[in-house]
Structure 1
Amino acid sequence: MNPGQIQDWVEGCLRDDRKSQELLYKHFFPVLYRICQRYCQDDMETMSVLNDGFLKVFTKIHKYNSSLGAIEAWIKTVVTHTAIDYVRSRNRRAFQVVHLDNIGELPEEEAPISDLNPDILLQGIRRLPQTTKTVLNMHLFEAYSHKQIATTLGISESTSRWHLTEARKKLRQYFSEGGDSALDASRQKNMYS
């Protein structure tokens, strides 16, 4: 993809050109859909969050400044924040239930998911409780620190660590109990790719 073409679409979006919006949407749809899938329970919810995110992109595109980085990163950030905001507003009580400030540091184990293909990983992630899933997504995929997660979700840093540890534990359990065949198939596929 020619970066100049993306810039042309951005300039069209600044003029509210529907064709430019459509082309930008179609171009970024696959990667942004995958991000929203990780935060949402089903495909209908995923599409709703993704479309809300793109609406924000189109209405706030005039705030984009190239000195902040590539347009791709800005769009990804807007859509990711839309997904996080959606989950947080829908599950406000869920983020306030676990407070583990006095348990000390939890060990951060090596994630058992680094060599899984995205479809199999998504199956496991979608089985996680909402708060645990959100913390995992923010830490693992969006590279948020526990401090950033705590601030964004209104939880403590130790609660964020607990949810990450819990996510890893539940994913290992999922793949050892029923996901073994999926895990093995994924590893074999990656080995021969």
Structure 2
Amino acid sequence: MNLSKKQVEVLVKGCVNNDRTAQEALYKLFHADMLRVCYNYLPDKRLAKEAFNLGFLKVFQSIKDFDIKKGELGGWIRKIMIYTSIDICRSELKFNTIQLSEREETEFFISPSVLEKLFFEDILKNIRSLPFATQTVFNLSVLDGFTHKEISEQLYISEGTSRWHLSEAKKQLRALLETSAKGTDQLAERSGKAK
């Protein structure tokens, strides 16, 4: 979505003036990427679409506040989609209040040899198989760069609970991804023998 500054200004101005053509163009331009953002946080398609639609409503209601000098339009819309998805997550999630100190938080290394055997869809499928609360914390931390403090403020949980969920996500993902990679190896061996 490489729009020139002038194109962005025209699009934003049209949306501010409630020009349906500009609104439709903005919607179509960001539809796929922003729906994907919502699916990252809400694997339930109904909830993801609800977040997406509510997010675009917020975009159109607040587009007059967008300042091209302060950031990129796609990033601004993405942020609205993330926060809208978090709002829906908050109402759907049940968190275990387990504390994990910073020293206990461990980094789980996933070997590049494991990752190179998997497709993006395989990795995404494994992320989506995590428990909903754990998946949400993982997405916020790893995919969108939120700190544990920011996650705790957004989800109304303690920083220790956020750390625990991230640690648990990494542990479970490592096991899932290694299992998926072994399955890919076995499939490749069988297809090699079949030739």
Show the counterpart of 2:63.
61
Task: Report 1:1-193 matches (<5 A).
Answer: 1-3=2-4, 4-91=6-93, 94-95=94-95, 97-100=96-99, 104-110=103-109, 117-178=119-180, 180-181=182-183
Task: State how far apart, in whole Å, the 2-side matches of 1:111 and 1:33 are.
Answer: 28
Give yes or no for contact 1:120–1:183 (8 Å, CA) kept in 2.
Answer: no
The one-letter amino acid paired with 1:98 is T
Give the Å deviation of 1:156.
1.6
Give the Å deviation of 1:179.
5.9
Task: State how far apart, in whole Å, the 2-side matches of 1:61 and 1:21 are.
Answer: 10
The one-letter amino acid paired with 2:63 is I
CA RMSD, 1 decimal:
2.5
Give the Å deviation of 1:44.
3.0
Give yes or no for contact 1:35–1:80 (8 Å, CA) kept in 2.
Answer: yes
The one-letter amino acid paired with 1:106 is E
Give the Å deviation of 1:12.
0.8
Give the Å deviation of 1:183.
8.8
Query: Number of paired residues?
Result: 182
- Identity percentage over the alignment? 35
Give yes or no for contact 2:100–2:164 (8 Å, CA) kept in 1.
Answer: no
Q: How far does the alpha carbon of each residue in 1:38-65 deviate from its partner, in whole angstroms, 9 at most, with x for none?
A: 1112333322211111111011111222
Higher mean Cα deviation, 44-53 or 10-19?
44-53
Compare CA radii of gyration and give the structure with the larger one.
Answer: 2
Query: Structure 1-normalised TM-score?
Result: 0.82
Give the Å deviation of 1:141.
1.1
CA separation of 1:177 and 1:110: change in aligned 2, threshold 3 A:
closer
Q: How far does the alpha carbon of each residue in 1:91-124 deviate from its partner, in whole angstroms, 9 at most, with x for none?
A: 2xx13x2231568532122356976543222211
